[in-house]
Structure 1
């Protein structure tokens, strides 16, 4: 396996695990980056940019070109290749309301209707801003699924959620808002700042930190983004949380209209994530596009300075990783832990240690930080597996980082 990039002394286990992902776990194209105390210590990439093996011109390997010559080899993953990271977007998006709170522009304990009056209907008058971030708002589903066009038009999602009746009393329980998180956060940010969430991230987070991260991909950057697609499961998937567990896990899965199925099916038919229109949409739950380097650098700036830039003040960092929701998740039907917008370390989302916070993306991607060790990590892939969390490739890399940062007695 021809792996590109750099690894500092002591972090060789991460490179070894990255190689094994290609050799044993069916990786096709991926990148991983690690920062420690604000400094990049791992930056690796390998494989092909497109899961399908297309080259930059869209040819398949072995195709014959217009001039009758053989098609070129599949384009390799490059130093600046970016991919859609699905729900790993949520972690970066969560930083926006926390930064607005830090700047005194938003009250986490205010009703959402304070900023978005139309939301105060159908039993949602007591939904607080912190409920949106901790998946306690009770609106993970829509009574009528949106079409792909409605999902990305910037209006229909917020309008539907404003009219939606909660599935449970807001604030009393939690359930993963897989897709509705997009329109909840986007509309809240727009009402508070007058800017779209993608623009806010670009101007206030990505530009100062020099991140190749977008919620709403600019047309001029589209050539850098690879195509994603499904890949077969490895023989052993470890602790990966599936979207459709065995029925023995929950009676809810026997009902085609279960909360889980409805929460993951709020856009029907399923949108094409390789479609330029989808990639250009501002979907902070699932539509972010990033390099591994950008994810790692962003999380590094949440826990400390990176080249003179720091996102979270110490008090905000404490808020980000303080448990807000824990226990059986009404949507994922397993025990989950959430802070304000971030998944916290636990069986459903194994990260580096008890104080770690971040967010996986369904199918593989992962971004997180561990303040105690000063570690921040980003992983992106073009091969999407069925797991919602704990992807075996990402977990192999997390274990390698743990090994690299532990004393011999602590290493796993």
Structure 2
């Protein structure tokens, strides 16, 4: 794709971002995508191109500025913000046992699990001994009962491992016990509305027509792009049905149809939030400052909590070194972000949202083409590098 085929605009100095965005289509098999970047609360990048649906061909509807997509685990950053905002308001104590708010959780060795353990993937319940079907997973009461009954696979608070699916019911059940409200409704009123961000957890029927279809893609063989081979231990972990890795991702079995209206309407904060690129970037911009002179969601102290390292080192689920703050992945080898102080969350297969307080950058990338990467997608990383190159200190 030529740069001229990319829709949207970039501020002066951010031309390398447009070039990298176009190159993703030419070299990395991108089908349809959008990117938005804010700096100091003002949008400096707003780009989109390709087809709305991944299987798009001639005649398929093009991606438009308001096209939205499922962002998978990038949703976790929004769910974390909800719990941190409750803490900021004095309604949730991060050092309190989860069972203080959710009495049913005080079973099977989980009595001393703290709220901060849950946020930092230290709760010890990344798997379900009895996986839920997609229909069961969409029922918040069934999901809450399943994780409440689950025995931990390590002593809570002593180690970390990515809670790929169970994070949905851990966060949604805790929030509902504290507020009395469903998490999707709370996010709409407490985060998306004040920030002016186009993002949803539990897609309203009125917005269904703007969401494109997602699907798997591969980089073209002719691209010459570097193909990173996963370590043998990682490959083996994903191949072994008894590994924590496979079991964590299989907490919902069989895999849901992510393009189905029923799945999109569910509220699974680990995996099925839907957003535009601008919505994801604007959300992160609102965490670290005022957006267009308006709302700021996090105080400086809450930003500090979000990005203070709580978990680091070998991840018992992802089988690589990961770093987590309270609900957010931190800059590192598993998820390279803009700089050491960045915090955010990728979505398996492509999407990425993060904030970097030092530079004032907030970043949102969404795509309909899902690749096999869990964290460091090469398309998102190319865009992050281009943003870094565009900052004044780098020029």
**How many residues get paired?**
389
Q: Give the CA deviation at 1:233.
A: 3.7
Does the Cα contact within 8 Å between 1:33 and 1:378 map onto a contact in 2?
yes
Q: Return the structure number with greater helix share.
A: 2
Alignment partners' CA distance in 2, 1:126 and 1:82: 40
1:323 positional shift: 0.1
CA deviation vs aligned residue, 1:227-276 (integer Å, no higher than 9, x gap):
00000145577686x8xx45345865564211000001111111000010
Paired residues of 1:108 and 1:130 also in contact (CA < 8 A): yes
- Listed as ranges, the gaps of 5+ residues in structure 1 are 54-59, 62-72
* Structure 2 match to 1:357: 343
- State which of 14, 17, 23 in structure 1 corresponds to 2:26: 23
Choose which of 263, 266, 290 in structure 2 pairs with 1:305: 290
What do residues 28-56 of structure 1 show as CA deviations (whole Å, max 9, x unaligned)?
Answer: 00000000000000000000000012xxx
The 3 A distance-change label for structure 1 pair 237 and 261 is farther
CA distance in 2, matches of 1:19, 1:278: 31
Equivalent of residue 259 in structure 2, options 263, 267, 274: 274
Contact kept in structure 1, 2:167 and 2:270, CA below 8 Å: yes
Structure 1 CA distance, aligned partners of 2:73 and 2:274? 10
- Who is 2:390 aligned against? 404
Instruction: Tell me which residue corresponds to 1:291.
Output: 276
2:321 alignment counterpart: 335
Alpha-carbon distance in 2 for matches of 1:374, 1:83 = 25
- Secondary structure at the aligned position of 2:313 is classed as strand
For 2:334, which of 321, 324, 348 is the aligned residue?
348
Select the residue among 344, 349, 352 that pairs with 1:366.
352
Alpha-carbon separation, structure 2, partners of 1:346 and 1:252 = 21
Q: In the superposition, relative to structure 1, how do residues 91 and 234 fare at CA in structure 2: closer, same or farther (>3 Å)?
A: farther
- 1:110 has 2:96 as partner: yes
Q: Which residue of 2 aligns with 1:173?
A: 159
- Determine the C-alpha separation between the residues in 2 that align with 1:91 and 1:239: 28
Question: Aligned partners of 1:386 and 1:293: how far apart in 2?
Answer: 24
User: 1:219 maps to which residue?
Assistant: 205
Pick one of 116, 121, 134 that aligns with 1:130: 116
Q: Distance in 1 between matches of 2:96 and 2:225?
A: 41
Q: 1:239 to 1:367 in 2, by over 3 A?
A: farther
Among 47, 64, 78, which residue is 1:78 paired with? 64
Gaps of 5+ in 2: none
Could you report, residue by residue, the CA deviation over 1:312-367 in whole angstroms, capped at 9, with x for unpaired residues?
A: 00110100000000000000000000000000000000000000000000000000
CA contact (8 A) 1:250 1:333 kept: no
Cα deviation for residue 208 of structure 1 reads 1.5
For residue 40 of structure 2, what is the aligned residue in structure 1? 37
- Kindly tell me: are residues 249 and 79 of structure 1, through their superposed partners in 2, closer, same or farther at Cα, counting changes over 3 Å? closer
1:383 corresponds in structure 2 to: 369
Tell me the equivalent position of 1:64.
none
Secondary structure of the 1:377 match is strand
> How many Å separate the matches in 2 of 1:376 and 1:99?
19
TM-score (norm. length: structure 1): 0.92
Q: TM-score when scaled to structure 2? A: 0.96
Q: Distance in 2 between matches of 1:311 and 1:234?
A: 41
1:187 maps to 2:173: yes
Are residue 265 (structure 1) and residue 250 (structure 2) matched? Answer: yes
Partner of 1:69 in structure 2?
none
How far apart are the structure 1 equivalents of 2:337 and 2:233? 27
Residue correspondence of structure 1 range 314-325 to structure 2 within 5 A:
314-325=300-311
The 8 Å contact of residues 33 and 293 in structure 1, kept in 2 or not, is answered as yes
In structure 2, C-alpha distance between the alignment counterparts of 1:317 and 1:179, rounded to whole Å: 25
Find the counterpart in structure 2 of residue 90 from structure 1: 76
Shift of 1:6: 1.1
Partner SS for 1:352: coil
Question: Does the 8 A contact of 1:239 with 1:390 survive in 2?
Answer: no
